[in-house]
Amino acid sequence: MVLEWNPGARQDGPEVSLNILIGWEDAEQVDLIAMYLGAGENKVYLANDPVHFREIIQNGTLLDVVVLSTRYPDLDHAFDLFKQVRAVRPELPIMCGCKPDDIYRLARYMMGGMKSYMLRDPNGDFLFLLNAMVESVVESVRAEREQKVAEKLREEVESVRKLQETIIPKNIKPPKGYRICARYEPSQVKVVGGQPVTMAGGDYYDLFPLKGDRFVVIVGDASGHGMKACMSVITMHTLVRMLKDDEHLNPAEFVATVNRNLCEQTVVSADGGFITMAYGVLHSDTNEFHWCSAGHPPPFIQSLDTGKIHMVANEDVGGMPLGLFDTAEYEQHIFNIPPRSRVLLFTDGLQEAFPENGGKHQVFGNDGIMATLARTIKQPIEKTLAALFDDSNAFTQGAGRHDDTSGVLIERFE
């Protein structure tokens, strides 16, 4: 029969720590092994013959480790039992007990996937180390499993991040008389699977032409971080690209349409999620910029001749963020882009960069943005945008920005 040895367990006590199956031929040592391994909350299963040993393996009994003598019940049958455990329960670690004269026989166990072994000295001193060795084997296996899970997670995170990269436009061709550059930086770098991983983020920008000398500029920011935020902006990107040929829609109507569709997508709205967005259409024939905000910061405009910098509207001009209420209404705004001027659209990760300085809350803010724009007024727009990211990051004093950050810089040079 199969015996269960757990001298310290109570019916209403805590769960056992380890479930251990013992296959051992020395009857005198079996009781001692059960006593040592059954200490605390461990649960020990003793099989008095190979038939019952196989039954325990095959019936799905919850086990954490098998302790198997290489002589149970004899040298040949022990290896057969070992192979059966490996075939039926390959995830189950096996620790073998081997007499010194049989140590050369361990080679086939090692090649078959044995996790550890102990030499059975004639005095039986190995019994005092048995509990620690079993715990070490189990912890080693758990660490390996966690490492594999972490590595799988790292691969999945990396695949989502690469998917996000595919929606970021490359080789941007701006309208005649304009220069445009854009940049995105995620905020989170974590160690997953023993390696640093750049996490997928929730910021987004898109740039593409429409018929009739029009050029679309979008900057978006999904709430939160990580995969959910990333999948939210990918969903929005898909909707925007599906709707982009509906040329009768002005920015306010377009944003309202995107919002209604996003409200139906649980990937966005789950757990109170939402997306802020600034959507603009540059009419290069008239140099008018028609734009709409869904809870997003308004653009800055800078004159390259006078150096004057200001926001094109009050910061509270934006409507409701996307994905919250399908009946939300939005308002279109229009401003002219004069010759030799720049327009900056950005996510709040740029504004809200802050150092960790003992509770005194300071942010890079609009003042930091305007200071960098002023300092780099004579530099190419690519260097100006890079300086905005560098300066806001430097403002954190090594802490790094706590939010994903995107920016689009437009320059009219004619």
Buried b (16+ CB within 10 A) or exposed e, 101-112: ebeebeeebeee
Name the pairing type of β-strands 288-294 and 405-412: unpaired
Of 174-178, 193-197, 242-246, where does the model show the most confidence? 174-178
Residue 68 corresponds to which amino acid?
L
**Mean pLDDT on 89-99:** 95
**Residue of 370, 366, 363 whose CA lies nearest to 393:** 363
74: pLDDT strictly greater than 80: yes
Lowest mean pLDDT among 27-31, 49-53, 226-230: 226-230
335: pLDDT strictly greater than 80: yes
Cα(14)–Cα(26) distance, rounded to whole angstroms?
A: 32
206: pLDDT strictly greater than 90: yes
Lowest mean pLDDT among 32-36, 84-88, 406-410: 32-36
Percentage of residues in the chain having pLDDT higher than 70: 88
**Please, are residues 349 and 406 in contact by the beta-carbon 8 Å criterion?**
yes
pLDDT digits (tens, 9 = 90+) for 350-371: 999 888 775 567 899 999 999 9
The more confident residue out of 338 and 184 is 338
Cα(71)–Cα(57) distance, rounded to whole angstroms?
A: 18
Q: Three-state DSSP class for 93?
A: coil
Taken in order of first residue, the domains within the chain and their CATH numbers are: 2-146 (3.40.50.2300), 168-412 (3.60.40.10)
Whole-number average pLDDT of the chain:
87
Q: Three-state DSSP class for 36?
A: helix
Residue 220 corresponds to which amino acid?
G
3-state SS of 367-404?
HHHHHHHHHCCCCCHHHHHHHHHHHHHHHCCCCCCCCC
**Mean pLDDT on 95-109:** 95
197: pLDDT strictly greater than 60: no
Q: Which residue is it, tokens 């380890």?
A: 18
Write out the E strands in 43-101. 43-47, 65-69, 94-98
**Alpha helices in 204-312, H assignment, sequence order:** 226-243, 251-262, 266-269
**Please, are residues 222 and 233 in contact by the beta-carbon 8 Å criterion?**
yes
Q: Which residue is it, tokens 């499993």?
A: 145
Q: Which two tokens stand for residue 18?
A: 């380890």
The more confident residue out of 327 and 402 is 327
**Please, are residues 347 and 219 in contact by the beta-carbon 8 Å criterion?**
yes
Cα(245)–Cα(287) distance, rounded to whole angstroms?
A: 21
Residue 115, phi then psi, degrees to nearest 5: -85, -35
**Mean pLDDT on 241-269:** 85
Cα(34)–Cα(32) distance, rounded to whole angstroms?
A: 5
Cα(277)–Cα(290) distance, rounded to whole angstroms?
A: 14
Q: Which two tokens stand for residue 282?
A: 């540059």
Lowest mean pLDDT among 18-27, 193-202, 240-249: 193-202
